[in-house]
């Protein structure tokens, strides 16, 4: 089996992830904020360490402003639904994932304007300043495209948002762990990250990193027991408790902390250079194959290892099936939960076959994929 669907979820996970999850299940078992006995305190220190690691990874100043969530989708829903109200206007790019678009389009009385993007998936930053209105309350967009790998210039977008006085929220699902992502340098008010993609942890855990002024205006979506302020029937005013009602996914937190430790010890730059070399090898090989089209940018400085291929003479779904059935290569075919992105890229409704690289991908995997594409095209 050759696994090339890391944009969906990383596989294999980082060394030590499963062991730490089993340690929690078999040896700890306690909830956080619910007891003062030793296992509960261990779990509390583990989650604090996780928040601190996320702060270090993303240059975020305050662990209490790192909210642990069920994933990036849950984090994005909180950032969107907790900050927008009827009469608000929000700016997105035309490359967004449905984790952004579906929550937005369910909000009554909220207007959505799309920043145009070019045929490679890059937002038109010259057009962006003219799209702001008096009631623009948020700019939110994907840092990296889950369809074609195009990476937006988040720092430039952040500067424009700062000049306009509008919060900027980033969906870092496809860049966290793949690139250096700097919360402060990007001028962010909020950033959503999943644990299970480039950060190499288990599913069911993620985080929403918040700037303090944005956090103070955010409305919780879920209310319940926090283990704190138990003398009151109202949510506590302080973070992270205000946004973390219920029982946390502690096995996931233990596994994610182990994954972050692996990335920390290995180095994001080392992992990036490995992925970059494999991506360049894939794109170079693809250029010599007739009957297919690369969808998205060739510039390695403006992309991550998410590679979309359109088979010009064959059905893309049939090709994805053939890649697995005949060659044991696992990919993702279709519209990738991002119909607007595919419309922007000119691949709607047929979609593409997506090959996405990860930390465990090897040159032999790339060469096998290229040989299979050449044979099938």
Q: What is the CATH number of domain 2-10+267-376?
A: 3.90.1150.10
Model pLDDT, residue 290 = 96
Is residue 35 predicted with pLDDT exceeding 90?
Answer: no
Place of tokens 């090709």: 319
Q: What is the pTM of this model?
A: 0.97
Selection from 173, 219, 221 nearest residue 198 by Cα: 173
Note the pLDDT tens digit of each residue in 50-93.
999 999 999 999 999 999 999 999 999 999 999 999 999 999 99
The residues spanned by each domain of the chain are 2-10+267-376, 17-266
Same fold, 2-10+267-376 and 17-266: no
Selection from 237, 184, 189 nearest residue 212 by Cα: 189
Rounded to an integer, what is the distance from CA 211 to the centroid of its chain? 18
What confidence tier does 367 reach under pLDDT thresholds 50, 70, 90? very high
Instruction: Tell me the residue ranges of DSSP E strands in the chain.
Output: 2-3, 66-69, 89-93, 111-115, 136-142, 168-171, 190-194, 206-210, 292-295, 306-311, 329-330, 332-334, 352-356
What confidence tier does 285 reach under pLDDT thresholds 50, 70, 90? very high
Question: Which residues have CB under 8 Å from 72's CB, separation 6+?
Answer: 99, 171, 172, 173, 192, 193, 194, 206
For residues 205-213, give the mean pLDDT.
98
Q: In percent, how much of the chain has pLDDT > 90?
A: 99
CA-to-CA separations, 200 to 14, 167, 189, 308, in angstroms, rounded: 5, 29, 25, 22
Model pLDDT, residue 195 = 98
Does the domain at residues 17-266 carry the CATH identifier 3.40.640.10? yes
Note the pLDDT tens digit of each residue in 259-281.
999 999 999 999 999 999 999 99
Note the pLDDT tens digit of each residue in 106-151.
999 999 999 999 999 999 999 999 999 999 999 999 999 999 999 9
């Amino acid at each position: 089996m050759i696994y090339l669907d890391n944009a969906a979820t990383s596989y294999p996970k980082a060394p030590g992830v499963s062991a730490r999850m089993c340690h929690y299940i078999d040896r700890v078992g306690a909830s956080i904020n619910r007891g003062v006995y030793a296992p509960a305190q261990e779990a509390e220190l583990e989650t604090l360490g996780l928040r601190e690691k996320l702060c270090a990874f993303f240059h975020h100043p305050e662990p209490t402003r790192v909210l642990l969530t069920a994933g990036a989708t849950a984090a994005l829903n909180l950032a969107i639904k907790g900050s927008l109200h009827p009469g608000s206007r929000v700016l997105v790019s035309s490359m967004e994932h449905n984790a952004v678009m579906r929550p937005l389009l369910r909000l009554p009385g909220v207007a959505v304007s799309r920043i145009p993007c070019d045929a490679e998936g890059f937002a038109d930053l010259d057009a962006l300043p003219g799209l702001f209105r008096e009631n623009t309350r948020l700019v939110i967009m994907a840092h990296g495209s889950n369809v074609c790998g195009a990476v937006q210039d988040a720092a430039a977008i952040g500067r424009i948002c700062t000049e306009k006085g509008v919060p900027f929220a980033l969906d870092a699902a496809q860049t966290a762990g793949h690139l250096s992502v700097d919360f402060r340098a990007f001028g962010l008010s909020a950033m959503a990250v999943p644990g299970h993609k480039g950060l190499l942890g288990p599913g069911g855990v993620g985080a929403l990193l918040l700037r303090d002024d944005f956090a103070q205006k955010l409305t919780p979506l879920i209310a319940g027991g926090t283990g704190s302020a138990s003398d009151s029937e109202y949510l506590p005013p302080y973070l992270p408790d205000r946004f973390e009602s219920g029982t946390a996914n502690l096995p996931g937190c233990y596994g994610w902390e182990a994954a972050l430790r692996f990335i920390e010890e290995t180095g994001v730059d080392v992992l990036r250079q490995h992925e970059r070399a494999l991506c360049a090898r894939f794109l170079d090989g693809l250029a010599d194959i007739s009957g297919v089209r690369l969808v998205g940018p060739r510039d390695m400085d403006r992309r991550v290892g998410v590679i979309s291929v359109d088979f010009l003479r064959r059905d893309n779904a049939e090709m994805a099936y053939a890649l697995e059935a005949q060659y044991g290569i696992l990919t993702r075919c279709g519209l990738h939960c991002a119909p607007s992105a595919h419309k922007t890229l000119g691949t709607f409704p047929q979609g593409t076959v997506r090959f996405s690289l990860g930390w465990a991908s090897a040159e032999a995997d790339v060469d096998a994929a290229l040989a299979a594409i050449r044979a099938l095209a």
